[in-house]
Amino acid sequence: MERPAIAGGKPVRETKIFYGHQYIDEDDIQAVVDVLKSDYLTCGPKITELEQKLCELTGANYAVVCSNGTAALHIAALSASVGEGDEVITTPITFAASANCALYCGARPVFVDINPETYNIDPQKVEEAITPRTKAVVAVDYTGQSVDLAPLLKICKEHNLTLIEDGAHVIGTKYNGQMNGSIADMTMFSFHPVKTVTGGEGGVILTNEEALYKKLLLFRSHGITRDVEQMRHEPEGPWYYEQVELGYNYRMTDMQAALIISQLDKLPMFIRRRKEIVAKYNEAFSNMPELFVQREIPESDTTRHLYILRIVSEKLTIDRKEFFEALGAENICCNVHYIPVYYFPYYEKLGYHKGLCPHAEKLYEEIITLPLYYAMSDADVESVIEAVKKIVAFYRR
Ligand SMILES: *Cc1c(COP(=O)(O)O)cnc(C)c1O
Amino acid at 73: L
The span from the CA of 285 to the CA of 315, in Å, is 14
Q: Does the Cβ of 196 fall within 6 Å of ligand 1?
A: no
With a 6 Å cutoff on the Cβ, whether 215 touches ligand 1 is no
Question: 70: CA distance to ligand 1 center in Å?
Answer: 6
Per-position pLDDT tens, the chain of length 397: 455 678 888 999 999 999 999 999 999 999 999 999 999 999 999 999 999 999 999 999 999 999 999 999 999 999 999 999 999 999 999 999 999 999 999 999 999 999 999 999 999 999 999 999 999 999 999 999 999 999 999 999 999 999 999 999 999 999 999 999 999 999 999 999 999 999 999 999 999 999 999 999 999 999 999 999 999 999 999 999 999 999 999 999 999 999 999 999 999 999 999 999 999 999 999 999 999 999 999 999 999 999 999 999 999 999 999 999 999 999 999 999 999 999 999 999 999 999 999 999 999 999 999 999 999 999 999 999 999 999 999 999 9
Pocket test for ligand 1, best of 19, 67, 70 (most atoms within 8 A of CB): 70
Residue type, 314: E
The domain 26-265 having CATH identifier 3.40.50.300: the answer here is: no
Contacts (Cβ under 8 Å, ≥6 apart) of 113: 92, 121, 122, 125, 356, 357, 358, 359, 360
Q: What is the predicted pLDDT for the residue at 5?
A: 78
How much is the pLDDT for 7?
85
Residue owning the nearest CA to atom 15 of ligand 1 = 168
Considering all CA atoms of the chain, what is the largest pairwise distance in Å, rounded to the nearest integer? Answer: 79
In angstroms, what is the span from residue 76 Cα to ligand 1's centroid?
Answer: 14
Which CATH number describes the domain made up of 6-21+267-395? 3.90.1150.10
**What are the structural domain ranges in the chain?**
6-21+267-395, 26-265
Q: How far is the CA of 20 from the centre of ligand 1 (A)?
A: 14
d(CA 252, CA 63): 13
Cβ neighbours around 232 below 10 Å, total: 7
Question: What angle do helix axes 267-285 and 378-395 make, rounded to 10 degrees?
Answer: 30
pLDDT of residue 6: 86
- Gap from CA of 336 to ligand 1 centroid (Å): 15
Two domains, one topology: 6-21+267-395 and 26-265: no
Contact status, residue 316 vs residue 397, Cβ threshold 8 Å? yes
